[in-house]
C-alpha cells in the first residue's frame, strides 16, 4: 500500500490534483485483500490441523487457545478481526444494494 500513496503520478500528479475516488477505491481493495488473505490463512491452518491431527487433538486445541489468547491480549488482532467482520458484512450489503 505504501507504493499506492508514494506514486501519486498514477493518480493525477500533485496531492491537490489526485483522483481521490480512484485512490480510495485502490486503498479499500488492497485493505480488503489483506483482510481476506489473513482470514484464509487462519482457516487453512485450522483445516490442516483438523485433517492431520483431528478436532479432538492437543494441537487443534492449542491452535484455538492461541487464537483466543491473541484476541484477548493484542488490540491489533481484535481490531483486525472486527474490521474483517465489518468489511465482510459491508461487502454483502453493497452487493445487494
Domain assignment present for 9: no
93 band by pLDDT with thresholds 50, 70 and 90: very low
34: in domain? yes
E strand or H helix at 66: helix 58-73
Residue 84 placed within a domain: yes
Residue 33 sits in which domain range?
A: 28-96
Model pTM score: 0.65
8 Å CB contact between 36 and 24: no
C-alpha 37/C-alpha 39 separation (Å) is 5
R_g (Cα) of the chain, nearest Å: 19
- Residue 80 in this model has a pLDDT that exceeds 90: no
Higher pLDDT, 39 or 64: 64
Sign for the pseudo-dihedral over CA of 7, 12, 16, 21: negative
Can you tell me the distance from the alpha carbon of 62 to that of 53, in angstroms, rounded to the nearest whole number? 12
Please report whether residue 73 resides in a domain: yes
Asked whether residue 32 is assigned to any structural domain, the reply reads yes
**Domain contains 22:** no
Alpha carbons 71 and 78: distance in angstroms, whole number = 5
Q: Give how many domains the chain has, as a whole number.
A: 1
pLDDT > 90? residue 6: no
pLDDT band at 15 (very low <50, low <70, confident <90, very high): low
Amino acid at each position: 500500500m505504501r507504493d499506492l500513496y508514494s506514486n501519486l503520478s498514477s493518480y493525477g500528479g500533485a496531492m491537490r490534483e489526485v483522483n481521490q475516488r480512484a485512490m480510495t477505491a485502490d486503498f479499500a481493495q488492497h485493505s480488503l485483500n489483506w483482510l481476506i488473505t489473513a482470514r484464509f490463512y487462519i482457516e487453512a491452518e485450522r483445516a490442516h490441523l483438523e485433517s492431520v491431527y483431528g478436532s479432538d487433538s492437543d494441537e487443534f486445541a492449542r491452535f484455538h487457545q492461541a487464537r483466543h489468547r491473541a484476541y484477548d491480549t493484542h488490540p491489533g488482532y481484535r481490531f483486525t478481526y472486527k474490521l474483517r467482520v465489518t468489511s465482510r458484512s459491508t461487502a454483502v450489503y453493497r452487493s445487494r444494494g
